[in-house]
Chain A
Amino acid sequence: MPLRQKVVFLTIAVVLLLVIVELVRRRRLRVEYSWLWIAAGITPIGLILRYDLLVSLTEEVGAAIPTSTLFFLCILYLAVLSLHYSVRLTELTRQVKELAQEVALLRAERETRNQVGPG
């Protein structure tokens, strides 16, 4: 990997990592969600510094060139990330449903009490 490429990609990866860490520090990103992102920041750094790892991984999986291994890993990562979001969305949907029902039920209970009169 040419030095020029190394510097460019390393800079991008480090900035990405710093942004993630800063988001966590400012509580804009919850710690438990940050792990996937931190992995996304560290992996490129590792692969740039140890390009030979990518090459041997390429041989290991039987891919033709390291670039396709890299693209494959990126797509896999994005797929896992959206799966993770879908799971979270499902959970949030359920929580919102429960909350909405609870609000409606509490309001109905209060109305009933007010009709009966204070006390």
Chain B
Amino acid sequence: MSRVLVVVPAWNEARNLEAVLTELTRERPDLPVLVVDDGSEDATSSVARTRGAAVVRLPFHLGYGAAVQAGVKRALRLGCDVAVSFDGDGQHDPADIAPLLEAVADGADLAIGSRFLAADAYRGSRGRRAGRALFSAAARVFTGLPLTDPTSGLKALGPEAQRLFALTRFPDRFPDADALVLAARARLRVVERPARMRRSRNRHSMHGGLKAVSYSFNMLASLLVAALGREADLEG
């Protein structure tokens, strides 16, 4: 059995985290869970500890990408074969972890849970769908891979992908489609598996109003940077 670490980034998610960790440990008691507390001001860390998860507590809020990256760095140091990123807001289903682990065991470096390959799933508002369609198209152009859900937070990373995600220059602000562009440039084997996404209960939505516009611009700029960056970005 390979060593797996489930990385759960969480920022002020004390309310959701309890249910998320309960479900995770019930469905997958075999998988150790690491909660990365991204500088929360609520009881996120203590909730995680009482639920039996290990905790990496960032001293202040760094953002989603940097939180996931911290968890991946921990997985690397523990010598894990697979690091699974699993959002702390309750939108992911523990049952979807297994297909991702199988994909990595079958030789993929990076396996992504895609809500668009799943039969029935929450797909978000019209605005979100439009944004994701745009990112998918851009990601397909830049990676040359038939990706359907490049902004999915549910991923399984083999050792090579873990090393890529832990790079100093890894795009930690918008670690979605641009990360996949880097993965493609680093010639990682990227696959998608169906995953059910649920509406998260208490989301600090970063996709509303003006923020959506700024997010979209940053995401596209970030994609371009990832695509046009130097080879050195893949190493140091």
Contact = CB atoms under 8 A, between A and B. Distances in A.
A104 B56 contact: yes
B69 interface: yes
B56 A108 contact: yes
Contact of B168 (A94, A105, A107, A109): A94
Contacts of B59: 100, 103-104
B83 to A, nearest CB: 14
Contacts, number: 39
Contacts of A108: 54-57, 74
A30 B59 CA distance: 28
Contacts of A97: 62, 66, 172
A101 B55 contact: no
Given A94-B168, A108-B74, A101 B54 contact: no
Contact of A107 (B36, B57, B62, B169): B57
Contacts of A98: 168
B168 A101 contact: no
Contacts of A109: 77
Interface string B56-82: 111110100010011001100100000
Q: Which of A108, A109, A111 has the most CB of B within 10 A?
A: A108
A104 B62 CA distance: 12
Given A94-B168, A97-B172, A98-B168, A104 B66 contact: no
A116 B57 CA distance: 19
A36 to B, nearest CB: 26
A112 interface: yes
B77 A112 contact: no
Interface in B75-101: 77
B62 A101 contact: yes
A45 B94 CA distance: 70
21 contacts: A94-B169, A97-B62, A98-B168, A100-B58, A100-B59, A100-B60, A101-B58, A101-B62, A101-B66, A103-B59, A104-B56, A104-B59, A105-B70, A105-B73, A105-B74, A107-B57, A108-B54, A108-B55, A108-B56, A109-B77, A111-B55
